[in-house]
Amino acid sequence: MIRLASTAVMARRHEPADSLDFFPTPPWATRAFCEHVLPRVFPDPHLFHNPAWDPACGEGHMALALADYFAQVHASDIFPYGFGQVADFLHQDFRWKPAEWIITNPPFAIGRDFILKALQLAYRGVAMLVRTAFCEGQGRYDDLFSIYPPAMIAQYAERVPMHRARWVVNGKTATAYCWVVWLKEFGKPIVDDTRFVWIPPSRNTLTRPDDWLRFGGCMDIPDKHKARQLAAEGGVMRPAPTRQEIQAGFL
């Protein structure tokens, strides 16, 4: 009984009231979404030619991974992490960027507000990476899911480790995550039955040896990790963008 109680506590990601809730998304988790979820929920061959927008970009872990699939990615965050535009997504005067898709890992406490705002702005669809527990609760059911049922809930078959303010390559977690996806047509969310699918194990297949060099905030690199060999050799599989290139390409 004690062990079960301890695990339940670990699964809850409590944050201070003034926290920015910055938990970088491992690059492989975003790639798994692009590889296994988007083609199933919206099988349009022109999908990735349309712009996407990450309005809670942090240091760019998700936005840079999305840029491997989308021709253009806008990125913004309320805090100046040094990546993308500094802007409050929920502010009524925010000048938003046109985007077919709004895709992000929103702050948990205001996830519902992020979703409702995104459903107003996105042309084609909204995809939110949330704790699986986000799908529970009468309040969110009454205010969100019963009014705008998602087109798909995609549950990771393996855990996606996220750590406060840092990306840990071989991190562990007791928290389960899923993607909740809405589709829009003629400017309005499509109301239909929700599909539930699983995202197959992807960490080993979609992690790239050069991720450590491309993405900031990485911690706890194992001594035998391929990234250390690449760094020692002074080479990368894909050049990391400069700060100037980031600012020019992700606004």
Does residue 117 surpass a pLDDT of 80? yes
Categorize the per-residue pLDDT at 238 as very low, low, confident or very high, splitting at 50, 70 and 90: very low
Q: Of 14-28, 100-114, 231-245, which has the strongest mean pLDDT?
A: 100-114
Categorize the per-residue pLDDT at 20 as very low, low, confident or very high, splitting at 50, 70 and 90: low
Q: Specify if 142 maps to a domain.
A: yes
| Choice among 6-20, 35-49, 181-195 with the minimum mean pLDDT | 6-20
Contact call for residues 202 and 160 (beta carbons, < 8 A): no
For residue 31, the tally of other CB atoms under 10 A from its CB is 20
Q: Which residues contact 196 (CB under 8 A, 6 or more apart)?
A: 152, 153, 154, 155
Q: Specify if 26 maps to a domain.
A: yes
Q: Specify if 240 maps to a domain.
A: yes
Does residue 211 surpass a pLDDT of 70? yes
Q: Specify if 2 maps to a domain.
A: no
Mean of all residue pLDDT scores within the chain: 78
**Structure token pair of residue 16:** 């201070």
pLDDT in tens, 145-198: 999 999 999 999 999 877 776 666 676 777 899 999 999 887 778 878 899 999
Categorize the per-residue pLDDT at 220 as very low, low, confident or very high, splitting at 50, 70 and 90: low
Q: Specify if 3 maps to a domain.
A: no
Higher pLDDT, 16 or 6: 16
Contact call for residues 175 and 11 (beta carbons, < 8 A): yes
**Structure token pair of residue 201:** 């194990």
Higher pLDDT, 46 or 185: 185
If one counts the domains in the chain, the total is 1
C-alpha–C-alpha distance, residues 229 and 212, integer Å: 11
Does residue 226 surpass a pLDDT of 70? no
Rounded average pLDDT over 105-111: 89
Contact call for residues 63 and 83 (beta carbons, < 8 A): yes
Q: Is 58 left (phi over 0), alpha (psi -120 to 50) or beta?
A: left
* Closest listed residue to residue 51, CA positions, set 38, 36, 69: 69
Q: Specify if 60 maps to a domain.
A: no
Contact call for residues 199 and 36 (beta carbons, < 8 A): yes
Give the length of the chain.
251
Q: Specify if 13 maps to a domain.
A: no
Q: Specify if 54 maps to a domain.
A: no
Rounded average pLDDT over 8-35: 66
Give me the domain span that covers residue 223.
21-42+103-249
How big, in percent rounded to 5, are the helix, strand and coil portions of the chain? 30, 20, 50
C-alpha–C-alpha distance, residues 53 and 55, integer Å: 6
